[in-house]
Amino acid sequence: MKVKLIMATFLMAVGVLIACGGTDSQQSSKMPPPASNESVAAPVETSDYVAPTSTLAVTAAGELEADELGNLSVSSLGDTLKYNSDVISLPKNTDINVIFKNESVGLEHNWVVVDASDKDAVLADAIAAGPDNEWIKPSDSRVLAYTKLVKPGETDSLTMTTPASGNLVVICTFPGHAAGGMVSEITLK
Ligand SMILES: [Cu+2]
């Protein structure tokens, strides 16, 4: 099936090249054959490629959740100090792929998972760690999962295994951002 498709596309391309040559030999001589072959082959190859993306899944209560493949799409909300959901609902003891997009134009953000009881101490140590450490204390054992410090418009991803229990929160450790509202609660179900 795929071979037939490639052959059909190739024959069509040859037909076009012949047609060009017949009507205007000057124009066809300018056309480099290897380049035109590449441009024909590319769409056929990419048709089999499935981009590693995820669907934005939201529960009836407005909580974000992972899709059926275990992918969780999260982002910051414009140029506010907010994530795209205050509550994220995740299954216990499950591998989750988190894709975090910084949707802002001018702010740097990260997506850092800690137990709620460790939030203030992690944030205090983050300020001490400074920008050279992307606002996270190096090897901080209280940090359960984290992205890099993501620049505006960029994306980072991580894989985490959810625990069996715990009161987890997501915070942005850039100074002032969590205090300003960049906190999401994770409910385990
Ligand atoms: Cu932030």
pLDDT in tens, 154-184: 999 999 999 999 999 999 999 999 999 999 9
Residues near ligand 1 ion, CB 5 Å cutoff: 109, 172, 174, 177, 182
Q: What is the pLDDT of residue 68?
A: 86
Q: Are the CB atoms for 108 and 78 separated by under 8 Å? A: no
Paired tokens of 58: 């939201």
> What pTM did the predictor assign?
0.70
Distance (Å) from CA 96 to ligand 1 centroid: 22
Distance (Å) from CA 91 to ligand 1 centroid: 26
Total Cβ atoms within 10 A of residue 54 = 18
Distance (Å) from CA 87 to ligand 1 centroid: 17
Kind of pairing between the strands at 71-75 and 95-101: parallel
Residue 54 has pLDDT above 50, yes or no: no
pLDDT in tens, 73-106: 999 999 999 999 999 999 999 999 999 999 999 9
Q: What is the pLDDT of residue 48?
A: 56
Of the chain, the percentage scoring pLDDT greater than 90 comes to: 63
Q: What is the mean pLDDT of the chain?
A: 80
Strand order in the sheet with 71-75: 71-75, 95-101, 155-161
Distance (Å) from CA 179 to ligand 1 centroid: 10
